[in-house]
Structure 1
């Protein structure tokens, strides 16, 4: 007979019934619970119920929400693309209008510049002609003054030459020359030069 073991033997006076070690183990080894054959049908039923409930929840709650979100996103994306296309068209039209107005403004600026150049050239030509006319008048007046002064000076030269010649002849000959012969000599000398 085996000796009582302190670990397996209950203390004296306790009400605990001891089960032998070989009776605590089942007759066969325990299998993984989903693979136990006596609970297999119940597991299949619960699986079908859980799958059906999950399918119903997905079909009635989650998927409509996801579809609504995707539909909203697609609609917003479509409207954003339409808005972007509209803005692009407006920007292209504004660019064309800007280029057109820029070309028009450049053409007008060229016309204004050419008109101003023509006006300034005409004004300068008018002033130049007026200055030329004024200078021609002054030149003509100066030439007339020079001619009159030259004639006056020449008249004075003739008188001075006549007096000088008369003084020289009188000194050389001792007599005053007659005025007629002096005038002829002066006329001959003036025409020779």
Structure 2
């Protein structure tokens, strides 16, 4: 291999120039290029760290917003349940009041009907007494020829009282 020909007098000069160029390249790289690369890497590291911190802050804010939303939802549910219960109680109270009013009206109508029935019964009983008295008087007059009006009235009253009781 020609590169390893150590007997060549130019080999020493090539090695010296290699060391000089390598040293010069090392100096330029360590002085100018590597600090710039390092600053770019550090800037990227800082930006990533800031982005991560912002993401964590946004996550914490989102978590707190979600918790607030859950709390608001629970509160709204509780208020809705309370409103529903209140409306149910109000509706039941109104229904009870209407029921009481209806019961009072029906009771009043029943009492009025009972009074009318009683009056009609009394009128019917009066008419029945009169018809019974006339019928008994005519029967006794046909059978016996004549009747005592007072005794017939007493007999009819006893008979009606026995049927009524």
Residues 125 and 64 of structure 1: CA distance in aligned 2, closer, same or farther (over 3 Å): same
* Corresponding residue number in structure 2 for 1:141: 112
Alignment counterpart, residue 106 of structure 1, candidates 77, 83, 91 = 77
The 1-side partners of 2:33 and 2:141 are apart by: 154
Over residues 143-180 of structure 1, what are the superposed CA-to-partner deviations in whole Å (9 max), with x where a residue is unaligned?
1111111111111111121222223223333x342321
Structure 2 unaligned segments of length 5 or more: list them.
none
Structure 1 stretch displaced more, 138-147 or 106-115: 106-115
| Matching residue within 123, 129, 134 for 2:100 | 129
Following superposition of structure 1 onto structure 2, how do residues 167-186 of structure 1 map, counting pairs within 5 Å?
A: 167-173=138-144, 175-186=145-156
Alignment CA distance shift 1:191-1:40 (3 Å) = same
Matches within 5 A, 1:1-193: 32-37=2-7, 38-173=9-144, 175-193=145-163
The two structures have a TM-score, normalised by structure 2, of 0.87
For structure 1, the residue ranges without an aligned partner over 5 or more in a row are: 1-30
**Hey, what's the Cα distance between the residues in 1 that align with 2:40 and 2:146?**
144
Deviates most, 47-56 or 75-84: 47-56
Q: Would you say the 8 A contact 2:129–2:157 is kept in 1?
A: no
Question: When the two structures are aligned, how many residues end up with a matched partner?
Answer: 162
Cα distance in structure 2, aligned partners of 1:154 and 1:118: 52
Query: Which of structures 1 and 2 has the larger relative contact order (alpha carbons within 8 angstroms, sep 6+)?
Result: 2
State the secondary structure of the residue aligned to 1:177: coil
